[in-house]
Structure 1
Amino acid sequence: MKSVTRSLRILEAVAQHQPVTVGELTKLFGLPKSTVQRTLVTLSEAGWLRANRKDTTRWEIGARVLAVRPAALQGSSLFAAAREPMIRLRDAVNETIHLSVPDALQCMVVVDRVDCTHAVRTFHAIGDTSPLHATATGRAVLAYLPRADVDELVARGLERFGEATPTDAGQLHAELERVRADGWSVNRNQHRPDVCAVAAAILGEDGVPLATVAISMPDSRYDASRLSELGGLVADTAAEIGVRRHGG
Structure 2
Amino acid sequence: MKSVTRSLRILEAVAQHQPVTVGELTKIFELPKSTVQRTLVTLNEAGWLRANRRDTTRWEIGARVLAVRPAALQGSSLFAAAHESMFRLRDALNETIHLSVPDALHGMVVVDRVDCDHAVRTFHAIGDTSPLHATATGHAVLAHLPKSEVDEFTAGTLEGYGEETITDPAELRAELQRVRDRGYAVNHNQYLPGVCAIAAPVLDGGGAPLAAVAVSLPDSRFDPDRLAELGRLVTRTAADITARHAG
- TM interval, shorter chain, is 0.7 to 0.9
CA distance in 2, matches of 1:223, 1:128: 26
| Alpha-carbon contact 2:132-2:138 (below 8 Å) kept | yes
Residue aligning to 1:151: 151
> 1:136 deviation in Å?
0.3
CA distance in 2, matches of 1:14, 1:206: 32
Question: Residues 184-225 of structure 1, C-alpha deviation per residue, up to 9 Å, x if partnerless?
Answer: 000000000000000011111111111110000000000111
> 1:73 deviation in Å?
1.8
> 1:13 deviation in Å?
3.7
CA distance in 2, matches of 1:151, 1:38: 36
Over the aligned positions, Cα root-mean-square deviation in angstroms equals: 2.9
Secondary structure in structure 2 of the residue aligned to 1:112: strand
- Extract unaligned runs of 5+ from structure 1: 52-58
| Alpha-carbon contact 1:86-1:237 (below 8 Å) kept | yes
| Alpha-carbon contact 1:133-1:166 (below 8 Å) kept | yes
| Alpha-carbon contact 1:195-1:217 (below 8 Å) kept | yes
Change (3 A) 1:60 1:134: closer
The 5 A counterparts of 1:45-194 are 48=48, 64-194=64-194
More moved, 15-24 vs 104-113? 15-24
Give % identity: 66
CA distance in 2, matches of 1:62, 1:149: 23
| TM-score (normalised: structure 1) | 0.83
> 1:22 deviation in Å?
3.9
| Alpha-carbon contact 2:137-2:212 (below 8 Å) kept | yes
> 1:12 deviation in Å?
3.7
Residue aligning to 2:210: 210
- Extract unaligned runs of 5+ from structure 2: 18-23, 52-58
What amino acid does structure 2 have at the position aligned with 1:163?
A: E
Secondary structure in structure 2 of the residue aligned to 1:68: helix
> 1:82 deviation in Å?
0.6
| TM-score (normalised: structure 2) | 0.83
What amino acid does structure 1 have at the position aligned with 2:65?
A: V
| Alpha-carbon contact 2:136-2:185 (below 8 Å) kept | yes
Residue aligning to 1:223: 223
> 1:14 deviation in Å?
5.6
CA distance in 2, matches of 1:146, 1:44: 33
| Alpha-carbon contact 1:96-1:121 (below 8 Å) kept | yes
